[in-house]
Amino acid sequence: MTFLENITSPADVKALTDAECQVLTKEIRDHLITTVAGTGGHLGPNLGVVELSTALHRVFDSPTDTILFDVGHQSYVHKLLTGRYAEFGTLRQRGGLSGYPSRAESEHDVIENSHASAALSWADGIAKAHQLKGETERYVVVVIGDGALTGGMAWEALNNIAADQSQPPRKLIIVVNDNGRSYAPTVGGFARHLDSLRTNSSYERILTWGKERLQQSGPPGRAAYSAMHGVKRGIKDMVAAPQTGMFDELGIKYLGPVDGHDLEIMERTLQRAKSYDQGPVIVHALTQKGRGFAPALEDEADQFHAVGVIDPVTGKAQPSTSTSWTSVFGNEIVEVARRRKDIVAITAAMLIPVGLQKFAEEFPDRVFDVGIAEQHAVASAAGLSYGGLHPVVCLYATFLNRAFDQLLMDVALHKQGVTFVLDRAGVTGPDGASHHGIWDMAMLQIVPDLQLAAPRDATRLAEEFHEAVEVADAPTVVRFSRGSVGTDIDAIRRTSDGVDVLVEVPAGMPRDVLIVSVGALADRALQVAEELRRSGIGATVVDPRWVLPVPDSVLEGGKKHALVAVIEDGVKIGGIGSQIRQDLRDDDSRTGVLELGVPDEFLPHGTRDEILEYAGLSVPSMVEKIVHMLPEDIARRVARTSTTAV
């Protein structure tokens, strides 16, 4: 058996010799590559923290000492070192290991959410709790990437951590995992500060000197050993007398920068941080995203930040024959920007994932990557709009939650024309609870004057985006799903207020059910209508296109049917169905409304189809619920028809 297979807890890691640990780190890298190649996941970030995570578990005593990750996608090595080797092949699969820390999996996991920049606040609170409870020997250790430190919340926490003067001092250690990247290269003034520490420090000079000595020493031997010994001795001296910089001025002890891939150096530095008893300590570790996997290192875009199923040797993915929602949007915003010079784009450290790469290549002066700072992105967009431009803010749907106040009070209140493009809206799949984009529609429907579009296919995405950027005095939102966009679904006709009718009740059948299809679930809505028709139930299917505010023709159509069934991949509490129910009630209509949406709970991870089935949005489940909700007279008619048919 390998060393990795024998790891059942961090105690097993501590029991290894230094030489055995070197073998262990290679085993971990090999296992990460072969496993994640088969499951998909965050490969690059985890290859970069192998030695760092191993050193943490050799120096600290989890779970007595709390180890936090910001963000949790860099926790795969931590999972392997805390006894989850046997289950690692189930990573991100339905019923298997989460791609983030999970309390259900292990007592060693704490923060489950995958939204960056929050861990320092958690650490501040946990350390205060330890202190107030008299647990003065327990450490709190945070591993935070340089990308996560672009978020304002991290700096709010750092400000409070630095200001603490309590006695005895809290045992709080912040490990900055500095690889110069978040998803793509890290942006902003703080990134430049870290870069200056990285390139202008004694660390860089010592490594340069060591490399020169190695080059001069010829074949491996005593001279080479002497050179490397000198490098390590120099770094140890530097750690013992850390530099003065921004962190020292904040009142936080700073150690580094140190080589995050030198296990011995990492352990010594963490031990020194642990022995410091005057307050919080920052350990600045330099790491390389994708370390040990040549295809990742050669990938300039994101160094295999997140991958699907790939070849474990070449890193090549299976060629896709389908078109993604993201790529459709990416092409469309370029087309619009060519005609309109006022179009600018903003993203929060996600330029490539939200489809802005082509835009950035063609219009580099018109795209703004603000780092992991969604609040700033949206308030800045309000300013851009006031200045005479039309900003397009591109985010994952789940991350809009972080900037709701700015959307409400800075954009909507001031009637600024800002378009929000929400990628990965609805049920997204294997990234789990905090990545599902299921809250946006419920959250946004309370924003006055906001208009929200949910395209069902590529043609409607292009069409609705064009319409969105024409609105100059209110926020507009275009939301779309993850993955393949599928084939176009043409309408039979379009109403005067822009609602597409996809299916009409066949001649001779009563109007029993109006199915309101929201976004990418239109294909399922059509299947539901067909199943109802076979049972003798007349169903009309409409796609509002713009689901907020609810179009009048949808409400008028609802009054002509016995039941309105709203199919949406957002939470049904406060969702589009709830809004239609309220609007019909306000219009004195007694038509019943069935909300076929996502339950009010945190959804697990799995494929999109698996989670939609779990949420009750499979075609058989929706048909059953509709039939159950039909008024008694229709139910009796259907029962008679079925009996006659038999």
Q: Which residues are annotated as a binding site for Mg(2+)?
A: 146, 179
Tokens found for residue 478: 């275009």
Which residues fall in the annotated binding site for thiamine diphosphate?
73, 114-116, 147-148, 179, 293, 374
Burial class (CB in 10 A: 0-12, 13-18, 19+), 310: buried
Q: Which residue has tokens 């939200």?
A: 354
Tell how far CA 592 is from the center of its chain: 37
Phi first, then psi, for residue 547 (nearest 5°) are -90, -20
DSSP state of 594: E
Residues 71, 306 contacting (CB under 8 angstroms)? no
d(CA 97, CA 104): 10
Question: Is 181 an annotated catalytic residue?
Answer: no
For the chain, how far is it from start to end, CA to CA, in angstroms? 64
DSSP state of 630: S
Q: What is the CA radius of gyration of the chain?
A: 28
Write down the catalytic residue from 374, 531, 568, 610. 374
Name the helix (H) or strand (E) containing 100. Answer: none
> How many other C-beta atoms are found inside a 10 Å radius of the C-beta of residue 430?
23
Q: List, in order, residues 6 or more apart from 367 with CB less than 8 Å away.
A: 344, 345, 346, 347, 351, 356, 359, 360
Alpha helices in 251-344, H assignment, sequence order: 263-275, 294-298, 325-339
d(CA 296, CA 289): 8
Question: Is 316 an annotated catalytic residue?
Answer: no
DSSP 465-479: HHHHTT--SS-EEEE
Alpha helices in 40-118, H assignment, sequence order: 43-47, 50-59, 76-81
Write down the catalytic residue from 92, 291, 402, 572. 402
Write down the catalytic residue from 84, 268, 289, 479. 289
- Residue 71, preceding peptide bond in cis (omega within 30° of 0): yes
d(CA 276, CA 170): 11
Cα angle at 485 between 479 and 490, to 5 degrees?
Answer: 90
HSE-up of residue 367 (Cα within 13 Å, Cβ side): 25
* Region of residue 645 (left: phi > 0; alpha: psi -120 to 50; beta: else): alpha
Question: Is 232 an annotated catalytic residue?
Answer: no
d(CA 36, CA 306): 10
Tell how far CA 105 is from the center of its chain: 20
Which residues fall in the annotated binding site?
73, 114-116, 146-148, 179, 293, 374
Nearest to 273, CA basis, from 194, 193, 175, 397: 175
- What is the amino acid identity at position 357? Q
Residues marked active site are found at 289, 374, 402
